[in-house]
């Protein structure tokens, strides 16, 4: 396995799935949120959606992270737009994406439940859905139901990755 991006809107479970997939595949985990600039963090905490310009430096850093792990990494990243995903693909040929598909109402509930421990407020969930360009149909993308049990999701992803390695 090379690298994989666990992607989707806020509240879909990227960090949780990323952690179990990293452990199952014995790959390092890179949390995309850890690489936001201080100004991006302040904007998000204030309820201001990030723009493409705001995400520019963040995506550059994530591309550097992909290149820094030639033996593969599990990266959690919203990767909401196709242009963002293409940029990440340029950093790692053969990069795969797991799209954690979730409904708006479910994402709102999850984001509200973690409000005390996360930088992302519920007021930004709608902007995430407005920005999202579904990756379904793009090459190297697995769509999963974000509401499925974590063990099932981990099995789906690791089986898909194992099949891709032998294909």
Which of 82, 90, 62 minimizes the C-alpha distance to 74? 62
Q: Which domains does the chain have, with CATH numbers?
A: 4-161 (3.40.50.300)
Give 47's pLDDT tier (boundaries 50, 70, 90). confident
- Sign of the CA dihedral running 26, 94, 84, 102: negative
Contact 62, 40 (CB under 8 A): no
What is the model's pTM? 0.90
Task: Report, as an integer, the average pLDDT of 147-157.
Answer: 97
* 3-class SS of residue 46: coil
Percent of the chain topping pLDDT 90: 65
Give 48's pLDDT tier (boundaries 50, 70, 90). confident
Bridge partners of 100, per DSSP, are 144
Which of 49, 38, 45 minimizes the C-alpha distance to 78? 49
Neighbours of 44 (CB within 10 A): 21
Give 120's pLDDT tier (boundaries 50, 70, 90). low
């Amino acid at each position: 396995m090379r690298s994989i991006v666990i992607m989707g809107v806020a509240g879909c479970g990227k960090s949780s799935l990323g952690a179990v997939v990293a452990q199952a595949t014995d790959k390092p985990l890179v949390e995309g949120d850890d690489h936001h600039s201080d100004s991006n963090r302040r904007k998000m905490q204030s309820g201001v959606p990030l723009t493409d310009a705001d995400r520019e430096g963040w995506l550059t850093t994530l591309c550097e992270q992909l290149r820094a792990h030639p033996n593969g990494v599990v990266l959690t990243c919203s990767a909401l737009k196709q242009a963002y995903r293409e940029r990440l693909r340029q950093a790692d040929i053969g990069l795969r994406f797991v799209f954690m598909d979730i409904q708006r109402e479910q994402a709102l509930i999850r984001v509200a439940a973690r409000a005390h421990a996360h930088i992302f407020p519920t007021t930004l969930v709608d902007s995430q859905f407005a920005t999202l360009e579904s990756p379904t149909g793009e090459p190297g993308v697995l769509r999963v139901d974000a509401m499925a049990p974590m063990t099932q999701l981990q099995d789906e992803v690791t089986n898909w990755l194992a099949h891709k390695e032998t294909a």
